[in-house]
Structure 1
Amino acid sequence: MKKVFSIIGIIVTPCLAHAQGGLLPEINMEVFRICSSIVAVGLFMLFILAIMKYVINYKLKNRIVDKGVPESVAASILQTNTKENLNSNIKWFAILTGIGTGLTIVYYTLPLHIHSLAIMAFSIGISFLGYYLFLKKFGGK
């Protein structure tokens, strides 16, 4: 729960620090509303997927215990891989860095047009390429 409040605080702080009216005079508020609704729907979908993953893992563990699977087989099925967690962190770092870089470039190339979408697509694509090369070099799955 502390993470949620920290993330909300980080998101709200720049809005509170900007005391003049409006976010940026060049940005259309309709574009902002559309982008924020897309982000909200995406976060909601990630939340639902995470809940489904936990429920399915819980049911799997219960089935393993109910069936009386030998301990060695159960341990191999239920073990968690810490390397996957580290790779997941690197993946999110790459994605968020690409998004941040893309948004920075878009800010300096205002007004918002189709080139802004192209900049964001290339920035995110380059971040995924960087993550792929990282996995290839450091032996990820």
Structure 2
Amino acid sequence: MKKLLISSLSLIAIVDAVAQNNVDQLQNNSGDPIVPLTSEPMIGIIFPILFISFLVFMLISVVKYFLEFRLKNKMIDRGMTEKILDYSLNKNDDNKFDDVIKLAILFCGLGMGLAITYLAGPINILSIAIMAFSIGLSFLTYFFYLRKRKK
């Protein structure tokens, strides 16, 4: 079932990435040209990137879960107790909270970068520089957060 789901999602991602929207050739039954729902170029760029990144994140999570499960089973077969395995394989609550904070700071930085990119005008090399700067600033903020938390 998982293979079918991953295969279908990857097929959808490939079709979405390769699909082209040629408005000049699209017409309805009366011969009038069909106007696309949105004329924003950002929508055509952001949605495929978000979809593919979400797909990659899901794939990495599934592979990580599967490999940890196999490692745990092999360690149990060799005679380790489950209490020791849970302690060695699972993160504690502080690390989970830090991961959530990291993702929140990163997504806030991405959102601000996308907003600045949208307000800055057409998509060009400046947009990439703005996004790189906002992501870097997000990680710097997370670094200062960890440093303050460890004191």
Considering the TM-score relative to the shorter chain, is it more than 0.5?
A: yes
Partner of 1:15: none
Q: 102, 112, 125: which is aligned to 2:113?
A: 102
Q: Does the 8 A contact of 2:109 with 2:138 survive in 1?
A: yes
Q: Distance in 2 between matches of 1:22 and 1:121?
A: 30
Higher-Rg structure is 2
Q: 108, 117, 126: which is aligned to 2:128?
A: 117
Q: Distance in 2 between matches of 1:38 and 1:139?
A: 35
State the structure with bigger RCO (CA 8 A, min sep 6), 1 or 2. Answer: 1
Q: 95, 99, 103: which is aligned to 1:92?
A: 103
Q: Distance in 1 between matches of 2:132 and 2:54?
A: 19
Partner of 2:147: 136
Q: Distance in 2 between matches of 1:52 and 1:45?
A: 11
Change beyond 3 A, Cα 1:53–1:109: same
Partner of 1:12: none
CA apart distance, 1:139: 1.9
Q: Does the 8 A contact of 2:109 with 2:135 survive in 1?
A: yes
CA apart distance, 1:39: 2.1
Aligned length: 116
Tell me the TM-score normalized by structure 2: 0.66
Tell me the TM-score normalized by structure 1: 0.70
Q: Distance in 2 between matches of 1:135 and 1:116?
A: 29
Gaps of 5+ in 2: 1-35
Does the residue aligned with 1:112 lie in a helix, a strand or coil?
Answer: coil
Q: Distance in 1 between matches of 2:37 and 2:90?
A: 51
Partner of 1:83: 94
